[in-house]
Amino acid sequence: MAKQTPNGIDRIESAANISLVLTQGSTSSDTDEAKVAEVPISRLDTTKDIEIEEIRESSLKATGYSITAISYSGTMMFKGSTLTRKFSSGQSINDVVYDKNGVPVPVSITITHDINGEPENYQTVLVTSDSYEVRSEEVTETAFDWVAMDRTSDQPDEEEETDGEEQ
């Protein structure tokens, strides 16, 4: 995706142009505020998988299909160790994605693209694994694999829904 700069040069969006914000919400019964960590990422992979089952009514070729599942997952990687790296609020990323017992808690991931300024939100995100890599005289990198229950860009706009109902 290219963006026109003020001096007329096209450039490609890079990870440095994407801000990633992890939010762990609080419930109405909680006295704690929502935990938020803005994570400077070095790599973010997102995947949308759609499982489709072919329907074959006594023929060799499919006569129809059924969408059986849509799932979202990915990997986020950033420089630094989860044990030593602190973010804007003074907490580590582990404080946001895990509870005090190390169990994943639901968070949301907001990705704001520099190209169009539009946010993309992954909702009810659970970390499935984490790892880090250390090499002599190189930067430590930490990675988290995750799954999400939904993505807002796959939801219809409220305006579109109401426009369709009025006609």
pLDDT, one tens digit per residue, over 114-125 is 666 677 888 888
Question: Can you give the pTM of this predicted structure?
Answer: 0.70
CA angle 162, 153, 9 (to 5 degrees): 120
Domain boundaries, the chain: 13-154
Residue 121: the pLDDT is: 85
pLDDT given for residue 23 in this prediction: 78
Residues 66-90 pLDDT 10s: 999 999 999 988 777 766 666 666 7
Is the Cα torsion angle 80, 91, 123, 16 positive or negative in sign?
Answer: negative
CATH class of 13-154: mainly beta
> For residue range 9-63, what is the model confidence (pLDDT) as tens digits?
454 555 555 667 777 765 444 556 677 777 777 788 899 999 999 998 888 889 8
82 vs 131 pLDDT, higher one: 131
Q: What pLDDT is attached to residue 108?
A: 84
